[in-house]
Amino acid sequence: MDAHLVVFKLTNELYGVDIYRVQSIIPMLQVTAVPGTPGFIEGIINLRGALVPVVDLRTRFNLPLATEGQKRVVVIVELEGLQVGMIVDKVTEVRKISGAAIEPPSPFLASIDTAYLQGIAKVDEQMIIMLDLDRIFAPHEHQVLKQAA
């Protein structure tokens, strides 16, 4: 089955999420920390009057932290009826990927837990790690995100 992805960078890797789950892409805003939340939740932002929890995907995936002053963006996605912001390094493109170019995830290809993955797309000598938004957060973490908002 073909996939329509918003493709973004984290460190030196390309990741993609289903375009139909992406609500907007915004510049990094001031994030307000929320005491008592897990470390991967940076805090909340005020997005057009709504409080949106923001997750740093580098922290979530145990990747090296961004350097001070590195420009980053927030991808706002829908997760079980809740808006969640994902901090990424850079959105590179929106791309349609042929189902023939998508393979099941391999633990040897990805730098993150394969439980988070839908597949690996091979396109133009590059690999795009396709994230499964419903599995990035455990069911009990969905509740934490709702409480943070």
Domains identified in the chain and CATH numbers: 3-148 (2.40.50.180)
Higher confidence at residue 113 or residue 41?
A: 41
For 55-89, the pLDDT digits (tens) are: 999 988 888 888 877 889 999 999 888 899 999 99
Whether residue 108 has pLDDT greater than 80 = no
Q: SS in 3 state form for 50-115?
A: EEEEEEEHHHHCCCCCCCCCCCCEEEEEEECCEEEEEEECEEEEEEEECHHHEECCCCCCCCCCHH
Whether residue 118 has pLDDT greater than 60 = yes
Percent of the chain with pLDDT over 70: 90
Query: What's the pLDDT band for 112 if we cut at 50, 70, 90?
Result: low
